[in-house]
A and B are shown apart, each in its own frame.
Chain A
Amino acid sequence: MMLALKQVGKNFGGLAALAGISFEVHGGEILGIIGPNGAGKTTLFNLITGVMSPSQGDIVFREKSIVGTRPHQITQLGIARTFQNIRLFGNLSALENVMVGMHCRTQAGLWQGLWRTGKQRQEEADIREKALAMLALTGIADVSQALAGSLPYGKQRRLEIARALAADPEIILLDEPAAGMNESETDDLKQLVARIRDLGKAVVLIEHDIQLMMTLCDRIVVLNFGQKIAEGDPASIQANPAVIEAYLGKEEG
Protein backbone atom coordinates (compact mmCIF):
# COMPACT_ATOMS: atom_id res chain seq x y z
CA MET A 1 0.00 0.00 0.00
CA MET A 2 1.39 3.33 -1.05
CA LEU A 3 -1.33 5.85 -0.43
CA ALA A 4 -4.26 5.44 1.91
CA LEU A 5 -7.24 7.68 2.48
CA LYS A 6 -8.88 7.14 5.84
CA GLN A 7 -12.42 8.45 6.35
CA VAL A 8 -11.55 11.63 4.46
CA GLY A 9 -14.16 14.37 4.31
CA LYS A 10 -14.26 17.92 3.02
CA ASN A 11 -16.89 20.54 3.83
CA PHE A 12 -17.43 23.76 1.95
CA GLY A 13 -19.46 25.86 4.33
CA GLY A 14 -22.28 23.57 5.37
CA LEU A 15 -22.01 21.42 2.26
CA ALA A 16 -20.17 18.11 2.51
CA ALA A 17 -18.36 17.81 -0.83
CA LEU A 18 -16.77 14.58 0.35
CA ALA A 19 -17.60 12.41 3.36
CA GLY A 20 -16.07 9.26 4.81
CA ILE A 21 -13.94 8.40 1.79
CA SER A 22 -11.53 5.53 2.34
CA PHE A 23 -9.48 3.65 -0.24
CA GLU A 24 -5.94 2.66 -0.97
CA VAL A 25 -3.64 3.05 -3.94
CA HIS A 26 -1.10 0.29 -4.54
CA GLY A 27 2.18 0.55 -6.41
CA GLY A 28 2.04 -0.16 -10.13
CA GLU A 29 -1.72 -0.15 -10.53
CA ILE A 30 -4.14 2.00 -12.46
CA LEU A 31 -6.92 3.10 -10.18
CA GLY A 32 -9.89 4.77 -11.82
CA ILE A 33 -12.16 7.24 -10.09
CA ILE A 34 -15.53 7.72 -11.71
CA GLY A 35 -18.72 9.41 -10.76
CA PRO A 36 -21.26 11.87 -12.10
CA ASN A 37 -20.40 15.59 -12.31
CA GLY A 38 -20.06 17.17 -8.89
CA ALA A 39 -19.37 13.84 -7.19
CA GLY A 40 -16.19 15.27 -5.63
CA LYS A 41 -13.52 13.70 -7.85
CA THR A 42 -11.39 16.80 -8.39
CA THR A 43 -11.84 17.81 -4.74
CA LEU A 44 -10.33 14.43 -3.89
CA PHE A 45 -7.26 15.25 -6.00
CA ASN A 46 -7.01 18.66 -4.37
CA LEU A 47 -6.97 17.01 -0.94
CA ILE A 48 -4.33 14.45 -1.91
CA THR A 49 -2.02 17.07 -3.44
CA GLY A 50 -2.34 19.46 -0.50
CA VAL A 51 -4.13 22.18 -2.45
CA MET A 52 -6.87 21.89 0.20
CA SER A 53 -6.85 20.34 3.65
CA PRO A 54 -9.42 17.70 4.52
CA SER A 55 -12.06 18.66 7.09
CA GLN A 56 -11.99 15.15 8.52
CA GLY A 57 -9.90 12.05 8.20
CA ASP A 58 -6.31 11.36 7.31
CA ILE A 59 -4.28 10.87 4.15
CA VAL A 60 -1.25 8.63 4.54
CA PHE A 61 1.53 8.32 1.99
CA ARG A 62 4.25 5.75 2.68
CA GLU A 63 3.24 5.38 6.33
CA LYS A 64 3.27 9.15 6.97
CA SER A 65 0.34 11.52 7.18
CA ILE A 66 0.58 14.21 4.51
CA VAL A 67 -2.27 16.33 5.82
CA GLY A 68 -1.08 19.93 6.21
CA THR A 69 1.91 19.42 3.95
CA ARG A 70 2.30 22.09 1.27
CA PRO A 71 1.68 21.11 -2.37
CA HIS A 72 5.30 21.43 -3.52
CA GLN A 73 6.44 19.24 -0.64
CA ILE A 74 3.88 16.58 -1.56
CA THR A 75 5.21 16.65 -5.12
CA GLN A 76 8.69 16.19 -3.73
CA LEU A 77 7.48 13.24 -1.63
CA GLY A 78 6.32 11.58 -4.83
CA ILE A 79 2.77 12.52 -5.81
CA ALA A 80 2.36 14.54 -9.02
CA ARG A 81 -0.77 15.57 -10.85
CA THR A 82 -2.27 17.17 -13.92
CA PHE A 83 -5.21 19.57 -14.03
CA GLN A 84 -8.69 19.16 -15.43
CA ASN A 85 -8.44 22.61 -17.02
CA ILE A 86 -4.95 22.59 -18.48
CA ARG A 87 -2.52 24.72 -16.48
CA LEU A 88 0.75 24.94 -18.35
CA PHE A 89 3.33 27.71 -18.22
CA GLY A 90 2.15 29.20 -21.49
CA ASN A 91 5.09 31.55 -22.09
CA LEU A 92 7.71 28.85 -21.57
CA SER A 93 8.69 26.32 -24.20
CA ALA A 94 7.40 22.77 -23.92
CA LEU A 95 10.88 21.66 -22.91
CA GLU A 96 11.12 24.33 -20.21
CA ASN A 97 7.75 23.28 -18.83
CA VAL A 98 9.08 19.77 -18.30
CA MET A 99 12.34 21.16 -16.90
CA VAL A 100 10.32 23.04 -14.27
CA GLY A 101 8.77 19.68 -13.44
CA MET A 102 12.22 18.49 -12.36
CA HIS A 103 12.70 21.44 -10.03
CA CYS A 104 12.14 19.47 -6.84
CA ARG A 105 14.63 16.79 -7.92
CA THR A 106 17.48 19.21 -8.59
CA GLN A 107 19.57 21.56 -6.49
CA ALA A 108 21.41 24.35 -8.29
CA GLY A 109 20.90 27.69 -6.55
CA LEU A 110 21.39 31.35 -7.37
CA TRP A 111 25.16 31.26 -7.04
CA GLN A 112 25.75 28.19 -9.20
CA GLY A 113 23.34 29.54 -11.80
CA LEU A 114 25.23 32.82 -11.94
CA TRP A 115 28.71 31.38 -12.39
CA ARG A 116 27.68 28.23 -14.26
CA THR A 117 29.83 26.03 -12.08
CA GLY A 118 30.79 22.63 -13.41
CA LYS A 119 28.25 20.97 -11.15
CA GLN A 120 25.50 23.30 -12.35
CA ARG A 121 26.32 22.69 -16.03
CA GLN A 122 26.26 18.96 -15.43
CA GLU A 123 22.90 19.25 -13.69
CA GLU A 124 21.46 21.42 -16.48
CA ALA A 125 22.57 18.86 -19.06
CA ASP A 126 20.93 16.09 -17.01
CA ILE A 127 17.72 18.10 -16.64
CA ARG A 128 17.61 18.76 -20.38
CA GLU A 129 18.27 15.15 -21.27
CA LYS A 130 15.64 13.79 -18.89
CA ALA A 131 13.12 16.41 -19.96
CA LEU A 132 13.63 15.44 -23.59
CA ALA A 133 13.15 11.80 -22.61
CA MET A 134 9.83 12.70 -20.97
CA LEU A 135 8.73 14.56 -24.10
CA ALA A 136 9.67 11.50 -26.16
CA LEU A 137 7.78 9.20 -23.79
CA THR A 138 4.63 11.28 -24.14
CA GLY A 139 5.14 11.56 -27.89
CA ILE A 140 5.66 15.30 -28.24
CA ALA A 141 9.45 15.54 -28.69
CA ASP A 142 8.89 17.31 -32.01
CA VAL A 143 7.47 20.42 -30.34
CA SER A 144 10.06 20.76 -27.57
CA GLN A 145 10.95 24.32 -28.61
CA ALA A 146 7.40 25.56 -29.18
CA LEU A 147 5.73 27.77 -26.59
CA ALA A 148 3.43 25.64 -24.46
CA GLY A 149 0.59 28.10 -24.91
CA SER A 150 0.74 27.75 -28.70
CA LEU A 151 0.42 23.95 -28.75
CA PRO A 152 -2.76 22.22 -29.91
CA TYR A 153 -5.03 20.94 -27.20
CA GLY A 154 -4.07 17.27 -27.32
CA LYS A 155 -0.38 18.06 -27.09
CA GLN A 156 -0.98 20.39 -24.16
CA ARG A 157 -2.62 17.50 -22.33
CA ARG A 158 0.40 15.31 -23.05
CA LEU A 159 2.76 18.07 -22.00
CA GLU A 160 1.01 18.27 -18.64
CA ILE A 161 1.59 14.56 -18.17
CA ALA A 162 5.24 14.95 -19.20
CA ARG A 163 5.68 17.77 -16.68
CA ALA A 164 4.11 15.72 -13.90
CA LEU A 165 6.26 12.69 -14.78
CA ALA A 166 9.39 14.85 -14.69
CA ALA A 167 9.04 15.09 -10.91
CA ASP A 168 9.64 11.31 -10.92
CA PRO A 169 6.53 10.59 -8.83
CA GLU A 170 5.52 7.24 -7.41
CA ILE A 171 1.88 8.17 -7.92
CA ILE A 172 0.59 10.32 -10.73
CA LEU A 173 -2.91 11.75 -10.60
CA LEU A 174 -4.47 12.43 -13.98
CA ASP A 175 -7.58 14.61 -13.96
CA GLU A 176 -9.62 13.91 -17.10
CA PRO A 177 -6.64 13.52 -19.45
CA ALA A 178 -8.87 12.38 -22.33
CA ALA A 179 -11.31 15.29 -22.10
CA GLY A 180 -11.87 16.79 -25.53
CA MET A 181 -9.82 14.17 -27.33
CA ASN A 182 -10.97 12.26 -30.39
CA GLU A 183 -10.96 8.47 -30.59
CA SER A 184 -7.46 7.97 -31.94
CA GLU A 185 -6.02 10.47 -29.47
CA THR A 186 -7.80 8.63 -26.66
CA ASP A 187 -6.27 5.36 -27.88
CA ASP A 188 -2.81 6.94 -27.80
CA LEU A 189 -3.49 8.20 -24.31
CA LYS A 190 -4.53 4.75 -23.18
CA GLN A 191 -1.23 3.34 -24.34
CA LEU A 192 0.61 6.16 -22.62
CA VAL A 193 -1.13 5.50 -19.29
CA ALA A 194 -0.33 1.80 -19.57
CA ARG A 195 3.30 2.68 -20.31
CA ILE A 196 3.44 4.89 -17.22
CA ARG A 197 2.16 2.02 -15.12
CA ASP A 198 4.78 -0.26 -16.67
CA LEU A 199 7.41 2.18 -15.39
CA GLY A 200 6.29 1.01 -11.94
CA LYS A 201 4.26 4.09 -11.12
CA ALA A 202 0.76 4.05 -9.73
CA VAL A 203 -1.74 5.99 -11.82
CA VAL A 204 -4.92 7.44 -10.37
CA LEU A 205 -7.22 8.43 -13.18
CA ILE A 206 -10.35 10.55 -13.27
CA GLU A 207 -12.26 10.09 -16.51
CA HIS A 208 -15.80 10.23 -17.82
CA ASP A 209 -15.18 7.86 -20.72
CA ILE A 210 -16.55 4.67 -19.12
CA GLN A 211 -15.42 2.49 -22.03
CA LEU A 212 -11.86 3.73 -21.54
CA MET A 213 -11.99 3.21 -17.79
CA MET A 214 -13.35 -0.31 -18.00
CA THR A 215 -10.59 -1.45 -20.33
CA LEU A 216 -7.71 0.47 -18.74
CA CYS A 217 -8.16 0.38 -14.97
CA ASP A 218 -7.14 -2.40 -12.62
CA ARG A 219 -9.57 -1.16 -10.00
CA ILE A 220 -12.25 1.50 -9.92
CA VAL A 221 -13.66 3.67 -7.12
CA VAL A 222 -17.10 5.14 -7.75
CA LEU A 223 -18.17 8.38 -6.11
CA ASN A 224 -21.62 9.90 -5.97
CA PHE A 225 -22.63 13.01 -4.03
CA GLY A 226 -19.36 12.94 -2.11
CA GLN A 227 -19.72 9.34 -0.98
CA LYS A 228 -17.92 6.24 -2.12
CA ILE A 229 -20.64 3.95 -3.43
CA ALA A 230 -18.52 1.16 -4.86
CA GLU A 231 -14.97 -0.12 -5.26
CA GLY A 232 -13.68 -3.09 -7.17
CA ASP A 233 -12.48 -4.46 -10.50
CA PRO A 234 -14.16 -3.16 -13.66
CA ALA A 235 -16.39 -6.19 -14.10
CA SER A 236 -17.85 -6.02 -10.61
CA ILE A 237 -18.34 -2.26 -10.93
CA GLN A 238 -20.26 -2.75 -14.14
CA ALA A 239 -22.58 -5.19 -12.42
CA ASN A 240 -22.99 -3.16 -9.23
CA PRO A 241 -26.63 -2.03 -8.78
CA ALA A 242 -25.65 1.11 -6.85
CA VAL A 243 -23.41 2.21 -9.71
CA ILE A 244 -26.06 1.54 -12.32
CA GLU A 245 -28.52 3.52 -10.24
CA ALA A 246 -26.15 6.47 -9.92
CA TYR A 247 -25.60 6.62 -13.65
CA LEU A 248 -28.95 5.55 -15.08
CA GLY A 249 -31.42 6.12 -12.28
CA LYS A 250 -33.57 3.60 -10.44
CA GLU A 251 -35.74 1.19 -12.36
CA GLU A 252 -39.44 1.82 -11.82
CA GLY A 253 -41.59 -0.84 -10.24
Chain B
Amino acid sequence: MDQWLNPYYLQIVMFMLINAMLGISIYFTLATGQLSLGNAGFMSVGAYTSALLSLKAGLPLYLSIPAGGVAACVLAAVIGIPATRLQGIYLAIATLGFGEVVRVIILNMKVTNGALGLSGIPALSVQIGKQLNSLGLGSGLGGITVQQLSNLSVIGLLALVVIFLVFFALRLRHSRLGRAFAAIKDDEHAAEVTGVDTVRYKLLAFFMSAFVAGIAGALAAHITFYIGPKDFSYHRAVEILLFAVLGGGNVIWGPLLGAGILTLLPELLRTVADYREMIYGGILVIMMIFRPQGLISEETLRLWRSKLFPAAKTEQEAVARRSAG
Protein backbone atom coordinates (compact mmCIF):
# COMPACT_ATOMS: atom_id res chain seq x y z
CA MET B 1 0.00 0.00 0.00
CA ASP B 2 2.73 2.42 1.04
CA GLN B 3 4.39 1.86 -2.26
CA TRP B 4 1.37 3.16 -4.13
CA LEU B 5 0.56 6.00 -1.80
CA ASN B 6 3.95 7.66 -2.00
CA PRO B 7 3.80 11.45 -2.26
CA TYR B 8 5.21 11.44 -5.77
CA TYR B 9 2.41 9.34 -7.24
CA LEU B 10 -0.20 11.21 -5.27
CA GLN B 11 1.12 14.50 -6.57
CA ILE B 12 0.93 13.28 -10.18
CA VAL B 13 -2.69 12.35 -9.67
CA MET B 14 -3.35 15.81 -8.25
CA PHE B 15 -1.74 17.48 -11.26
CA MET B 16 -3.77 15.26 -13.54
CA LEU B 17 -6.96 16.46 -11.93
CA ILE B 18 -5.87 20.11 -12.04
CA ASN B 19 -5.02 19.70 -15.72
CA ALA B 20 -8.39 18.01 -16.27
CA MET B 21 -10.01 21.20 -14.95
CA LEU B 22 -7.92 23.28 -17.33
CA GLY B 23 -8.95 20.97 -20.16
CA ILE B 24 -12.59 21.55 -19.25
CA SER B 25 -11.88 25.27 -19.10
CA ILE B 26 -10.71 25.35 -22.72
CA TYR B 27 -13.58 23.05 -23.71
CA PHE B 28 -16.12 25.69 -22.64
CA THR B 29 -14.75 28.29 -25.02
CA LEU B 30 -14.26 25.73 -27.79
CA ALA B 31 -17.91 24.72 -27.32
CA THR B 32 -18.87 28.08 -28.80
CA GLY B 33 -16.18 27.87 -31.47
CA GLN B 34 -13.89 30.37 -29.76
CA LEU B 35 -10.19 29.63 -29.72
CA SER B 36 -9.12 31.38 -26.53
CA LEU B 37 -5.56 30.95 -25.30
CA GLY B 38 -5.99 33.10 -22.20
CA ASN B 39 -6.47 30.19 -19.83
CA ALA B 40 -2.92 30.36 -18.44
CA GLY B 41 -3.53 34.04 -17.71
CA PHE B 42 -6.81 33.32 -15.91
CA MET B 43 -5.14 30.48 -14.08
CA SER B 44 -2.41 32.79 -12.80
CA VAL B 45 -4.94 35.37 -11.66
CA GLY B 46 -6.81 32.69 -9.72
CA ALA B 47 -3.59 31.31 -8.26
CA TYR B 48 -2.18 34.66 -7.13
CA THR B 49 -5.51 35.93 -5.81
CA SER B 50 -6.07 32.88 -3.66
CA ALA B 51 -2.42 32.66 -2.56
CA LEU B 52 -2.26 36.33 -1.56
CA LEU B 53 -5.63 36.31 0.19
CA SER B 54 -4.64 33.31 2.30
CA LEU B 55 -1.01 34.39 2.84
CA LYS B 56 -1.42 38.09 3.58
CA ALA B 57 -5.02 38.39 4.68
CA GLY B 58 -5.26 35.02 6.39
CA LEU B 59 -8.44 34.12 4.58
CA PRO B 60 -9.40 30.44 4.96
CA LEU B 61 -8.90 28.37 1.84
CA TYR B 62 -12.56 27.57 1.34
CA LEU B 63 -13.07 31.31 0.77
CA SER B 64 -9.82 32.23 -0.98
CA ILE B 65 -10.07 29.52 -3.68
CA PRO B 66 -13.53 30.58 -4.90
CA ALA B 67 -12.29 34.18 -4.71
CA GLY B 68 -9.58 33.16 -7.18
CA GLY B 69 -12.25 31.99 -9.60
CA VAL B 70 -14.24 35.19 -9.14
CA ALA B 71 -11.14 37.33 -9.73
CA ALA B 72 -10.47 35.49 -13.00
CA CYS B 73 -14.10 36.10 -13.96
CA VAL B 74 -13.82 39.84 -13.24
CA LEU B 75 -10.77 40.06 -15.46
CA ALA B 76 -12.59 38.03 -18.10
CA ALA B 77 -15.29 40.69 -18.12
CA VAL B 78 -12.70 43.43 -18.70
CA ILE B 79 -10.96 41.75 -21.61
CA GLY B 80 -13.82 39.51 -22.78
CA ILE B 81 -16.25 42.22 -23.79
CA PRO B 82 -13.96 43.53 -26.50
CA ALA B 83 -12.13 40.25 -27.18
CA THR B 84 -15.14 38.00 -27.82
CA ARG B 85 -16.04 40.23 -30.75
CA LEU B 86 -12.92 38.91 -32.44
CA GLN B 87 -13.10 35.78 -34.52
CA GLY B 88 -10.88 32.76 -34.93
CA ILE B 89 -7.19 33.44 -35.06
CA TYR B 90 -7.60 37.07 -33.97
CA LEU B 91 -9.17 36.00 -30.70
CA ALA B 92 -6.39 33.45 -30.23
CA ILE B 93 -3.71 36.11 -30.66
CA ALA B 94 -5.50 38.65 -28.46
CA THR B 95 -5.96 36.16 -25.61
CA LEU B 96 -2.41 34.87 -25.94
CA GLY B 97 -1.23 38.47 -25.67
CA PHE B 98 -3.46 38.97 -22.66
CA GLY B 99 -1.82 36.01 -20.92
CA GLU B 100 1.60 37.47 -21.50
CA VAL B 101 0.49 40.89 -20.23
CA VAL B 102 -0.79 39.31 -17.02
CA ARG B 103 2.48 37.46 -16.59
CA VAL B 104 4.59 40.59 -17.09
CA ILE B 105 2.43 42.56 -14.65
CA ILE B 106 2.83 39.83 -12.03
CA LEU B 107 6.56 39.78 -12.72
CA ASN B 108 6.83 43.48 -11.95
CA MET B 109 4.53 43.86 -8.98
CA LYS B 110 5.78 44.05 -5.39
CA VAL B 111 2.89 42.24 -3.81
CA THR B 112 3.40 39.22 -6.06
CA ASN B 113 7.12 39.19 -5.17
CA GLY B 114 8.16 39.55 -8.82
CA ALA B 115 10.24 36.87 -10.43
CA LEU B 116 10.85 35.09 -7.13
CA GLY B 117 7.20 34.19 -6.84
CA LEU B 118 5.24 33.41 -3.73
CA SER B 119 6.32 30.62 -1.42
CA GLY B 120 4.95 29.17 1.76
CA ILE B 121 1.39 29.28 0.45
CA PRO B 122 -0.93 27.54 2.94
CA ALA B 123 -1.23 23.96 1.78
CA LEU B 124 -4.58 22.39 1.15
CA SER B 125 -3.36 19.04 2.50
CA VAL B 126 -2.15 20.64 5.75
CA GLN B 127 -5.51 22.32 6.25
CA ILE B 128 -7.28 19.04 5.67
CA GLY B 129 -4.77 17.28 7.92
CA LYS B 130 -5.68 19.66 10.76
CA GLN B 131 -9.32 18.87 10.25
CA LEU B 132 -8.53 15.15 10.34
CA ASN B 133 -6.57 15.62 13.55
CA SER B 134 -9.48 17.34 15.17
CA LEU B 135 -11.64 14.42 14.11
CA GLY B 136 -9.30 12.15 16.07
CA LEU B 137 -7.61 10.64 13.03
CA GLY B 138 -4.22 12.07 14.01
CA SER B 139 -2.63 8.65 14.04
CA GLY B 140 -4.00 7.69 10.67
CA LEU B 141 -6.54 5.13 9.65
CA GLY B 142 -6.00 1.45 8.93
CA GLY B 143 -2.28 1.67 8.25
CA ILE B 144 -2.53 4.88 6.24
CA THR B 145 -0.70 7.78 7.82
CA VAL B 146 -2.48 11.05 8.41
CA GLN B 147 -0.31 12.63 5.71
CA GLN B 148 -1.40 10.10 3.13
CA LEU B 149 -4.94 10.44 4.35
CA SER B 150 -4.94 14.19 3.89
CA ASN B 151 -3.34 13.84 0.46
CA LEU B 152 -6.02 11.36 -0.52
CA SER B 153 -8.64 13.79 0.76
CA VAL B 154 -7.18 16.48 -1.49
CA ILE B 155 -7.41 14.09 -4.43
CA GLY B 156 -10.98 13.30 -3.47
CA LEU B 157 -11.80 17.00 -3.35
CA LEU B 158 -10.20 17.65 -6.75
CA ALA B 159 -11.95 14.63 -8.22
CA LEU B 160 -15.27 15.93 -6.93
CA VAL B 161 -14.67 19.26 -8.65
CA VAL B 162 -13.78 17.48 -11.91
CA ILE B 163 -16.80 15.18 -11.67
CA PHE B 164 -19.08 18.13 -11.05
CA LEU B 165 -17.63 19.99 -14.05
CA VAL B 166 -18.05 16.95 -16.31
CA PHE B 167 -21.61 16.54 -15.09
CA PHE B 168 -22.18 20.22 -15.77
CA ALA B 169 -20.72 19.98 -19.28
CA LEU B 170 -22.78 16.91 -20.15
CA ARG B 171 -25.99 18.49 -18.86
CA LEU B 172 -25.16 21.67 -20.70
CA ARG B 173 -24.76 19.90 -24.03
CA HIS B 174 -28.36 18.67 -23.92
CA SER B 175 -29.96 21.85 -22.72
CA ARG B 176 -31.28 24.97 -24.39
CA LEU B 177 -28.05 26.84 -23.72
CA GLY B 178 -25.84 23.99 -24.88
CA ARG B 179 -27.72 23.80 -28.18
CA ALA B 180 -27.22 27.54 -28.58
CA PHE B 181 -23.49 27.06 -27.92
CA ALA B 182 -23.29 24.26 -30.49
CA ALA B 183 -25.22 26.34 -33.02
CA ILE B 184 -22.80 29.25 -32.58
CA LYS B 185 -19.90 26.86 -33.03
CA ASP B 186 -21.31 25.50 -36.29
CA ASP B 187 -22.39 28.78 -37.87
CA GLU B 188 -22.33 31.94 -35.79
CA HIS B 189 -24.14 34.07 -38.34
CA ALA B 190 -26.93 31.55 -38.84
CA ALA B 191 -27.28 31.21 -35.06
CA GLU B 192 -27.69 34.96 -34.64
CA VAL B 193 -30.33 35.13 -37.38
CA THR B 194 -32.09 32.08 -35.92
CA GLY B 195 -32.61 34.06 -32.71
CA VAL B 196 -29.61 33.24 -30.55
CA ASP B 197 -27.90 36.16 -28.80
CA THR B 198 -24.45 35.15 -29.97
CA VAL B 199 -22.55 37.96 -28.24
CA ARG B 200 -24.07 37.10 -24.89
CA TYR B 201 -23.44 33.37 -25.10
CA LYS B 202 -19.90 33.73 -26.36
CA LEU B 203 -19.23 35.98 -23.40
CA LEU B 204 -20.91 33.51 -21.04
CA ALA B 205 -18.69 30.70 -22.33
CA PHE B 206 -15.68 32.96 -21.91
CA PHE B 207 -16.68 33.65 -18.28
CA MET B 208 -17.24 29.99 -17.52
CA SER B 209 -13.86 29.14 -18.99
CA ALA B 210 -12.12 31.88 -16.99
CA PHE B 211 -13.85 30.87 -13.76
CA VAL B 212 -12.83 27.23 -14.09
CA ALA B 213 -9.26 28.20 -15.00
CA GLY B 214 -9.15 30.55 -11.99
CA ILE B 215 -10.35 27.81 -9.63
CA ALA B 216 -7.85 25.36 -11.12
CA GLY B 217 -5.07 27.90 -10.65
CA ALA B 218 -6.08 28.59 -7.06
CA LEU B 219 -6.19 24.88 -6.25
CA ALA B 220 -2.81 24.37 -7.91
CA ALA B 221 -1.30 27.16 -5.80
CA HIS B 222 -2.40 25.44 -2.58
CA ILE B 223 -1.12 22.09 -3.74
CA THR B 224 2.37 23.17 -4.86
CA PHE B 225 2.83 25.78 -2.04
CA TYR B 226 4.89 27.84 -4.47
CA ILE B 227 3.91 29.85 -7.56
CA GLY B 228 5.99 32.05 -9.81
CA PRO B 229 5.34 33.91 -13.06
CA LYS B 230 7.20 31.17 -14.94
CA ASP B 231 4.43 28.69 -14.13
CA PHE B 232 1.96 30.65 -16.24
CA SER B 233 3.99 31.48 -19.29
CA TYR B 234 3.18 30.99 -22.93
CA HIS B 235 4.16 27.31 -22.60
CA ARG B 236 1.36 26.76 -20.12
CA ALA B 237 -1.19 28.24 -22.55
CA VAL B 238 0.03 25.96 -25.32
CA GLU B 239 -0.02 22.95 -23.01
CA ILE B 240 -3.68 23.61 -22.16
CA LEU B 241 -4.49 23.96 -25.85
CA LEU B 242 -2.74 20.63 -26.44
CA PHE B 243 -5.14 18.87 -24.05
CA ALA B 244 -7.92 19.71 -26.48
CA VAL B 245 -5.90 19.16 -29.64
CA LEU B 246 -4.68 15.73 -28.57
CA GLY B 247 -7.83 14.48 -26.85
CA GLY B 248 -10.32 16.27 -29.09
CA GLY B 249 -12.15 19.51 -28.41
CA ASN B 250 -15.64 18.54 -29.53
CA VAL B 251 -16.66 16.39 -26.59
CA ILE B 252 -15.86 16.86 -22.92
CA TRP B 253 -14.01 13.54 -22.72
CA GLY B 254 -11.43 14.72 -25.25
CA PRO B 255 -9.67 17.38 -23.16
CA LEU B 256 -9.90 15.07 -20.12
CA LEU B 257 -8.06 12.31 -21.93
CA GLY B 258 -5.60 14.83 -23.35
CA ALA B 259 -4.91 16.21 -19.88
CA GLY B 260 -4.39 12.71 -18.51
CA ILE B 261 -1.97 11.68 -21.23
CA LEU B 262 -0.02 14.91 -21.23
CA THR B 263 0.37 14.85 -17.44
CA LEU B 264 1.67 11.30 -17.42
CA LEU B 265 3.84 11.60 -20.50
CA PRO B 266 6.49 13.94 -19.06
CA GLU B 267 6.75 11.70 -15.99
CA LEU B 268 7.24 8.62 -18.13
CA LEU B 269 9.67 10.47 -20.37
CA ARG B 270 11.81 11.86 -17.54
CA THR B 271 14.92 10.64 -19.28
CA VAL B 272 14.22 12.82 -22.31
CA ALA B 273 12.90 15.81 -20.35
CA ASP B 274 15.04 18.17 -22.41
CA TYR B 275 13.08 17.33 -25.52
CA ARG B 276 9.67 17.81 -23.94
CA GLU B 277 8.73 20.89 -25.92
CA MET B 278 9.91 19.23 -29.10
CA ILE B 279 7.78 16.19 -28.43
CA TYR B 280 4.78 18.47 -27.79
CA GLY B 281 5.38 20.21 -31.08
CA GLY B 282 5.65 16.85 -32.82
CA ILE B 283 2.36 15.70 -31.31
CA LEU B 284 0.65 18.87 -32.54
CA VAL B 285 1.88 18.42 -36.09
CA ILE B 286 1.07 14.70 -36.22
CA MET B 287 -2.42 15.25 -34.84
CA MET B 288 -3.12 18.03 -37.33
CA ILE B 289 -2.14 15.76 -40.20
CA PHE B 290 -3.71 12.46 -39.20
CA ARG B 291 -6.51 13.25 -36.79
CA PRO B 292 -7.41 16.94 -36.62
CA GLN B 293 -10.54 16.19 -34.59
CA GLY B 294 -8.45 14.71 -31.74
CA LEU B 295 -8.43 11.21 -30.24
CA ILE B 296 -12.06 11.30 -29.15
CA SER B 297 -14.66 12.80 -31.46
CA GLU B 298 -18.43 12.58 -31.60
CA GLU B 299 -18.10 9.70 -34.06
CA THR B 300 -15.87 7.81 -31.64
CA LEU B 301 -18.55 8.13 -28.98
CA ARG B 302 -21.27 6.98 -31.36
CA LEU B 303 -19.18 3.96 -32.33
CA TRP B 304 -18.56 2.97 -28.72
CA ARG B 305 -22.18 3.51 -27.80
CA SER B 306 -23.34 1.19 -30.55
CA LYS B 307 -20.78 -1.40 -29.44
CA LEU B 308 -21.56 -1.13 -25.75
CA PHE B 309 -25.33 -0.86 -26.16
CA PRO B 310 -26.22 -2.93 -29.21
CA ALA B 311 -29.88 -2.80 -28.17
CA ALA B 312 -30.03 0.93 -28.72
CA LYS B 313 -28.44 0.46 -32.12
CA THR B 314 -30.92 -2.09 -33.39
CA GLU B 315 -33.69 0.19 -32.20
CA GLN B 316 -32.21 3.01 -34.24
CA GLU B 317 -31.93 0.76 -37.25
CA ALA B 318 -35.54 -0.28 -36.85
CA VAL B 319 -36.54 3.38 -36.90
CA ALA B 320 -34.42 3.88 -40.00
CA ARG B 321 -36.01 0.85 -41.68
CA ARG B 322 -39.50 2.02 -40.84
CA SER B 323 -38.85 5.44 -42.27
CA ALA B 324 -37.20 4.00 -45.36
CA GLY B 325 -39.98 1.51 -45.95
Contact = CB atoms under 8 A, between A and B. Distances in A.
Contact of B182 (A72, A89, A116, A123): A89
Contacts of A75: 193-195
Contact of B171 (A89, A100, A114): A114
Contacts of B195: 72, 75-76, 80, 101, 103-105, 167
Interface in B172-195: 172, 175-180, 182-183, 185-187, 189-195
A166 B15 CA distance: 46
B190 A83 contact: yes
Interface string B239-258: 00000000000100000000
A143 B323 CA distance: 8
A81 B192 CA distance: 11
Given A96-B179, A113-B176, A103 B171 contact: no
Nearest to B323: A142
Interface in B220-264: 250
A49 interface: yes
Interface string B150-181: 00000000000000000010011001111110
Given A88-B187, A113-B176, A145-B316, A70 B192 contact: yes
Contacts of A72: 192-198
Contacts of B319: 145
Nearest to B173: A113
B168 A114 contact: yes
B177 A113 contact: yes
B175 A108 contact: yes
A81 B195 CA distance: 10
A76 B323 CA distance: 34
A90 interface: yes
Nearest to A160: B190
Size bracket, chain B contacts: 20 to 34
Contact of B183 (A76, A92, A107, A127): A92
B31 to A, nearest CB: 12
B194 A100 contact: yes
Contact of B194 (A101, A112, A123, A124): A101
B204 interface: yes
Nearest to B164: A114
Interface string A161-177: 00110010000000000
Contacts of A96: 179, 182
B193 A108 contact: no
A83 to B, nearest CB: 7
A132 B177 CA distance: 19
A90 B193 contact: no
A113 B172 contact: yes
Contacts of B250: 91
A151 interface: no
B298 interface: yes
A252 B168 CA distance: 72
A140 to B, nearest CB: 10
A15 interface: no
Contact of B187 (A89, A107, A120): A89
Contacts of A105: 195
Contacts of A80: 194-195
A152 interface: no
A109 interface: yes
Contacts of B191: 89, 100
B25 to A, nearest CB: 16
B277 to A, nearest CB: 33
A71 B198 CA distance: 10
A22 interface: no
A103 B196 CA distance: 6
Nearest 10 Cβ contacts at the A-B interface: A113-B175, A104-B195, A142-B323, A75-B195, A87-B190, A89-B186, A100-B183, A108-B176, A71-B192, A71-B193
23 contacts: A76-B195, A80-B195, A87-B190, A91-B182, A92-B179, A92-B182, A99-B179, A101-B195, A103-B183, A103-B194, A103-B195, A103-B196, A106-B176, A108-B175, A108-B177, A110-B204, A113-B172, A114-B171, A114-B172, A120-B175, A123-B176, A124-B175, A142-B323
